[in-house]
Copies of this chain bind each other. A is one copy, B any other.
């Protein structure tokens, strides 16, 4: 049984200059906080989310009899690896998302219509800059840690480069220093499926009172395959049939795995915004901190000041351990203090969200260490 979480919203009226050169004149960010900010304001931890998650990181929403658990509730909370008895944890929803922060579903104040496809294209760095304003507004000068998995890990990395003096620890889980060609390719399939859905209407489907569900379903199905390892798919579904006998049909479900993927696609298409999906996958594609350093990641990390914890999972083929090791190597080249663990979990990319004793113990121990450092500072 977890605690009750309360979503909040913060508005910003100072224009935000984006990587694209465009400006967002005003925006709001949805967020949640857990635990108490100490007097020195040096126990804050920011959690960044991945593709389809939100600021609802931990705790429970109670709404009309249903309960929604935060997406990283196993990791964050009282006495959990990131212990909210010790840390003040901030969950934040990214700009452009569809869960409370300003995004394509919202009304563009200039046109009085939904932003739709006109919403500015964003980068990971844009997210980090928008997040920094919220962190500052909470009175926090420096984050004790920024932590995330997958795309969230990219934000944790980016924080250490965009605001090197404002983050003490960067925790980068199941992530990569950029997408490779195959990663981009899967994103592109998902985007094409959405854009080519006749119900997408060039991104202005809101006016037509339709949702490009077909495209969203395909996008999610493709994505989901890349989240799971081959092994876990085989052990969970294998070639199990949905019915006792083969039906000899190309359109009906024959195998369990088909049923599972269709269900995941269906569910996703009911709550996720199509334009947000395009924006977020594009931010993933663009992320490449080494680009402005002649593709030299070591050079890119010269400006980082944080300590790092980097974690990868052996069966993750979306962002393989080799990609995490690239990050670790660049950090070591820069004599940064970096801990690295490669966890032999069977679940593929999804492992970063799942219970695994070694993984949880590792994060717990790392944050215990941070907590001890904070306390020793307080005693001085």
Question: Which residues in A have some Cβ–Cβ distance to B below 8 Å?
Answer: 19-22, 117, 120-121, 178-182, 184-186, 188-189, 191-193, 195-198, 203, 214, 217-218, 221-222, 225, 228, 230, 233-234, 236-239, 246, 248-251, 254-255, 257-258, 261-262, 265, 275, 278-279, 281-282, 285-286, 288
Q: Which residues of B contact A180 (CB under 8 A)?
A: 230, 233-234, 238-239
Please measure, in the bound complex, the distance between the C-alpha atom of A261 and the C-alpha atom of B185, giving whole angstroms: 8
Q: Which residues of B contact A255 (CB under 8 A)?
A: 181, 184, 188, 285
A261 to chain B, nearest CB (A): 6
Please measure, in the bound complex, the distance between the C-alpha atom of A191 and the C-alpha atom of B275, giving whole angstroms: 24
Q: Which residues of B contact A196 (CB under 8 A)?
A: 214, 217-218
Could you tell me if A192 and B179 are in contact, using CB atoms closer than 8 angstroms? no
Q: Give the secondary structure class of A's interface.
A: helix
Please measure, in the bound complex, the distance between the C-alpha atom of A165 and the C-alpha atom of B180, giving whole angstroms: 49
Jot down 20 A-B pairs with beta carbons below 8 A, ordered by A.
Answer: A117-B250, A117-B251, A120-B248, A121-B248, A178-B239, A181-B230, A181-B234, A182-B228, A182-B233, A185-B221, A188-B261, A189-B221, A189-B222, A196-B214, A198-B198, A218-B218, A250-B275, A254-B282, A254-B285, A255-B285
Given known A-B contacts A121-B249, A196-B214, A214-B196, A239 and B189 have beta carbons under 8 A apart: no
Could you tell me if A239 and B279 are in contact, using CB atoms closer than 8 angstroms? no
**What is the copy number of this chain in the assembly?**
2
Could you tell me if B288 and A239 are in contact, using CB atoms closer than 8 angstroms? yes
Please measure, in the bound complex, the distance between the C-alpha atom of A237 and the C-alpha atom of B225, giving whole angstroms: 22
Q: Which residues of B contact A288 (CB under 8 A)?
A: 239
A41 to chain B, nearest CB (A): 36
Could you tell me if A218 and B189 are in contact, using CB atoms closer than 8 angstroms? yes
Could you tell me if B181 and A250 are in contact, using CB atoms closer than 8 angstroms? no
Given known A-B contacts A238-B180, A248-B20, A282-B250, A185 and B218 have beta carbons under 8 A apart: no
Please measure, in the bound complex, the distance between the C-alpha atom of A349 and the C-alpha atom of B186, giving whole angstroms: 17
The residue that A181 contacts in the complex, of B179, B237, B254, B279, with Cβ under 8 A, is B237
